[in-house]
Amino acid sequence: MTLSPRIRVLVISAVAALVLAAVVGWVFTANARASAAQIPQSVLAADTRMGAVELRVKDLPTVRRFYEEGVGLEPLDETGDSVSLGIGGEEIIRLVAAEGDYTNPADAGLYHSAVLYSDGPALATTLVRLIQMAPNLYQGSADHAVSHAFYFADPEGNGVELYIDTPADTWKWQDGQVQMGSAPLDPNDFIARHLGQTSDGTAAMGHVHLKVGDLERAREFYVDALGFAVTSEINGALFMSAGGYHHHLAANVWSSAGADDRPETLGLGSFAVQLTGPAELDAVAGRLDAAGIDYQRAEGSIAVADPWGNQVHLSH
């Protein structure tokens, strides 16, 4: 399929303007396909998935337009100072009007939220719409071997990844770690190959990538206490998942090494983890108790802060 000159110019211009902002490269090592024994097993059930990310924003109408008209999310519920957005009734992003300063790159908090699309045509349609709407917010793309990803910032600087997975049986595992690359990915070619093809148009929150102050403390909280498994650790970042996924969570110290508690700022309010049932929630509570970590328990849910104050809501 041939792109219109206008769309092609917008995409090429966006890439050229921000080529230096490409995602930090990871070395990709080809290896033989892994056996099941090589894939790290999480304490959390394989069906664990991510829920909505809540963002505290200063200009609710402008940020809402980005996610609704650009990313293509639908309003599910709203009040005077908040709106819940998603697809097919599943909440993906919740925006809450707030006051305060914008986040400092050196602080802990959100690196990006990552929306996973069901297929290439759905993602290609979104890319064309977003690049036409806000080409200056495009930040780059990468073939990560396990996924094909495109990166944006929303109007208040919150990182957003839009991606599709490659087939899981093509993922490479070596010594218990999934091999993720950062090869070039031409957005023009991706759009041309996928735009206009049949799509079911669905999406979900695929993973959440955090900024933290220390990877070992992140491991103690997210792996030892919550129950995720480490799937990769490379270049100052820790990747974690349940059920052998490449990652549901990531944490890096690229700009935030040594960060203390998060100040009260705009940006990440909380993120959600969807567990499989009450027994899983009880098990998480037991591990938090054993680790001496305070949390709030309600019917069917737990609210807990990581060592930097990032709020995690677990429910079933």
- pLDDT at position 36 is 66
Return per-residue pLDDT of the chain as tens, 316 residues.
444 444 444 444 444 433 333 433 443 333 434 556 689 999 999 999 999 999 999 999 999 999 999 999 999 999 999 999 999 999 999 999 999 999 999 999 999 999 999 999 999 999 999 999 999 999 999 999 999 999 999 999 999 999 999 999 999 999 999 999 999 999 999 999 999 999 998 999 999 999 999 999 999 999 999 999 999 999 999 999 999 999 999 999 999 999 999 999 999 999 999 999 999 999 999 999 999 999 999 999 999 999 999 999 999 9
pTM of the model: 0.89
Q: Cα separation of 194 and 71, whole Å?
A: 17
- pLDDT at position 38 is 86
What number does CATH give the domain 5-315?
3.10.180.10
